[in-house]
């Protein structure tokens, strides 16, 4: 599919097993982010090269750089050309590929000489005739082993879901020295530097993961503290309101049944609001209780600032007192 206009594209070559596979593989690598992961790249090689019938045996049976009777008419470094193109892409997009240069070199070496059966045979029919799948081990089982896989990982990798369009300008294409000059240069210093960089990146990932875990833990603790504070504040408010109502009730409600009856009858309880010259927010409550003989037991005057909620409480108190006296009966007094 054309990435821009989304139309089907047909790629056709001579036999369809060499340059055709190279072109389709590169197109998939450029357009498909999953193909740039190490397992996705393994799948790409299986689909586009070994499964599509690239003749590895006759293309890579002997070194393409050999001379004399060892060389044959069908030898060609097509797969090496593909790996070279992949390396050029990796150099231009160093953080978009999950695998590293060492993985490409590893594939190059095993395409020419391998103890695994992945690159044996010229097509699926030959693999079946020689029982390659039952008598050999897959190269990918070795690559994906937990003890081996880290050596092939690019620790600068960051998933990138956009196409990796390469620059094809002449100055952008350079020699892959690690392949073509691998025995002419000393790569020990380069390898040590790369190993140090990978170690730093691993430490960074561990620290970032630890930081994220601590941030999540802190967030959960903050939510718990906030919830506890809300509950405590609500309980404190309810406790405060309870004490306030009790205090107001002490001012208004007498503590003997005779005054309770007077409260119900409203004979000795006068509630008048302050006039405009005062604060205008309270009531003056005067309580006068008398005994059966008509003698005054005492007189208490209290001034309290109340609001609408207290007025509602007064009405509730009167209703409660009335019900209480009804239960006592008329013979109580």
**Sequential DSSP letters for 192-221:** HHHHHHHHHHHHHHHHHHHHHHHHHHHHHH
DSSP helix/strand/coil, 271: strand
Q: Read off φ and ψ for residue 176, nearest 5 degrees.
A: -80, 90
> Which pLDDT tens digit goes with each residue over 20-36?
999 999 999 999 999 99
Same domain, 57 and 80: yes
Neighbours of 62 (CB within 10 A): 15
Same domain, 215 and 310: no
According to the model, what pLDDT value does residue 238 have? Answer: 63
pLDDT greater at residue 265 or residue 195: 195
Res. 308 pLDDT band, cuts 50 70 90: low
Q: Read off φ and ψ for residue 296, nearest 5 degrees.
A: -75, 125
Same domain, 54 and 154: yes
Mean pLDDT of 39-57: 92
- Rounded to 10 deg, the angle between the 257-265 and 308-328 helix axes is 120
Same domain, 216 and 288: no
What pTM does this model have?
A: 0.62
Q: 262 is in which domain, residue-wise?
A: 253-328
> Which pLDDT tens digit goes with each residue over 158-203?
999 999 999 999 999 999 999 999 888 888 888 888 888 888 888 8
d(CA 295, CA 289): 9
According to the model, what pLDDT value does residue 251 have? Answer: 46
Q: Read off φ and ψ for residue 201, nearest 5 degrees.
A: -65, -35
Q: Could you identify the residue written with the tokens 């699926």?
A: 124
Same domain, 235 and 262: no
According to the model, what pLDDT value does residue 69 have? Answer: 58
> Which pLDDT tens digit goes with each residue over 76-116?
889 999 999 999 999 999 999 999 999 999 999 999 888 89
**In whole angstroms, how far apart are CA 107 and each of 10, 22, 113, 114?**
28, 15, 10, 9
Same domain, 228 and 279: no
According to the model, what pLDDT value does residue 85 have? Answer: 96
**HSE-up of 308 (CA within 13 Å, CB side)?**
0
Residues above pLDDT 90, as percent of the chain: 35
Contact present, 121 and 132 (Cβ < 8 Å):
yes
According to the model, what pLDDT value does residue 191 have? Answer: 83
Indicate whether 165 belongs to any domain. no
């Amino acid at each position: 599919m054309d990435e821009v206009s989304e139309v089907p594209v047909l790629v056709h070559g001579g036999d369809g097993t060499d340059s055709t596979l190279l072109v389709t593989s590169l197109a998939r690598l450029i357009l498909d982010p999953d193909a740039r992961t190490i397992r996705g790249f393994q799948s790409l090689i299986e689909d586009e090269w070994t499964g599509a019938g690239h003749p590895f045996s006759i293309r890579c049976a002997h070194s393409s750089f050999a001379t004399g009777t060892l060389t044959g008419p069908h030898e060609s470094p097509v797969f090496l050309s593909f790996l070279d193109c992949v390396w050029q892409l990796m150099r231009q997009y160093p953080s978009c590929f999950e695998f590293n240069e060492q993985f490409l070199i590893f594939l190059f070496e095993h395409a020419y000489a391998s103890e695994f059966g992945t690159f044996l045979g010229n097509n699926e029919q030959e693999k079946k005739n020689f029982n390659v799948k039952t008598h050999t081990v897959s190269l990918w089982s070795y690559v994906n082993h937990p003890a081996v896989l880290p050596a092939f990982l690019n620790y600068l990798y960051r998933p990138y879901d956009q196409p990796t369009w390469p620059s094809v300008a002449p100055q952008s294409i350079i020699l892959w020295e690690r392949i073509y000059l691998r025995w002419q240069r000393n790569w020990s210093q380069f390898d040590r530097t790369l190993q140090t960089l990978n170690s730093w990146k691993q430490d960074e990932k561990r620290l970032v993961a630890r930081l994220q875990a601590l941030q999540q833990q802190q967030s959960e603790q903050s939510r718990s503290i906030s919830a506890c504070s809300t509950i405590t504040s609500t309980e404190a408010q309810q406790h405060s309101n309870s004490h306030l109502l009790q205090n107001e009730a002490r001012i208004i409600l007498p503590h003997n049944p005779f005054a309770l009856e007077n409260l119900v009858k409203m004979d000795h309880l006068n509630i008048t609001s302050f006039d405009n010259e005062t604060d205008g927010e309270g009531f003056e409550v005067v309580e006068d209780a008398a005994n059966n003989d008509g003698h005054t037991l005492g007189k208490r005057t209290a001034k309290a600032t109340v609001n609408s909620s207290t007025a509602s409480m007064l009405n509730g108190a009167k209703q409660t007192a009335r019900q209480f006296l009804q239960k006592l009966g008329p013979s109580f007094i």
